[in-house]
Amino acid sequence: MNIVGNLLIAPPAVKGNFWYKTVIMITEDHSHGTIGLVLNKRSNLTIEEFGKQLGIPLNISGYVYQGGPLNPQGLSFLHTNEWHSKNTLRINEHFSLSSADDILPRFSLGDMPKRWRMFLGISGWAPGQLQAEIDGTPPWKREHSWCIAKSNPELMFETDQKEQWCKALDQSAEEFAHSILL
């Protein structure tokens, strides 16, 4: 199964840690491991405040998101495909991931994608680890196995935080039920 571009959704049994009620988009999966971004964990840092810290005027509403616990200073942007930077990775027919030093200055001038989110940090898994977590292979537990759903622009950009988790979990259940009926 090609998991790139799909969503991982933490099941309700996952509690009391960073992964509680998370929705993650998988952006890369290869022999070196898997990388993704947590979509629904806003930081307390607004985009405007972040711009001030960097000396870039960003009069843009919204928040910087916590993409994951790895590389917490790494800045990346998940966005729609009509826009690109000098370092853009196309994920699927709807989404791309960009990370380059020219992005924030372009944003300050109003040059930005139609839909996007800004992230600090990433999530990552060693080779084979994510599949073992999905399958519930020990030492991971079946009740903590990730749920999977297809991504779509509405779910990605029109919802946030707990609402995004609930909608993604519902979508995963619908897709699973549909696959059983086929």
Separation between Cα atoms, residue 22 and residue 122, nearest integer Å: 13
Q: Is residue 50's pLDDT more than 80?
A: yes
Separation between Cα atoms, residue 110 and residue 51, nearest integer Å: 14
Separation between Cα atoms, residue 23 and residue 100, nearest integer Å: 24
DSSP E strands, 20-146? 23-30, 33-38, 42-46, 63-66, 70-80, 88-90, 95-98, 116-125
Structural domain spans, the chain: 6-181
The whole-number average pLDDT for the span 95-108 is: 96
Separation between Cα atoms, residue 59 and residue 45, nearest integer Å: 14
Enumerate residues 6+ apart whose C-beta is below 8 A from 30. none
User: What is the tens place of the pLDDT at every residue in 111-145?
Assistant: 999 999 999 999 999 999 999 999 999 999 999 99
At residue 182 the predicted structure's pLDDT band, cuts being 50, 70 and 90, is: low
Separation between Cα atoms, residue 36 and residue 9, nearest integer Å: 12
Surface-to-core class of residue 7, CB atoms within 10 Å of its CB (0-12 exposed, 13-18 middle, 19+ buried)? buried
Lowest mean pLDDT segment, chosen from 56-60, 97-101, 114-118, 173-177: 173-177
pLDDT of residue 114: 96
The whole-number average pLDDT for the span 162-182 is: 89
Separation between Cα atoms, residue 44 and residue 65, nearest integer Å: 9
pLDDT of residue 1: 64
Instruction: Looking at the structure, give the CATH architecture of the domain made up of residues 6-181.
Output: 3-Layer(aba) Sandwich (3.40)
Which residues are registered as beta bridge partners of 34?
Answer: 29, 125
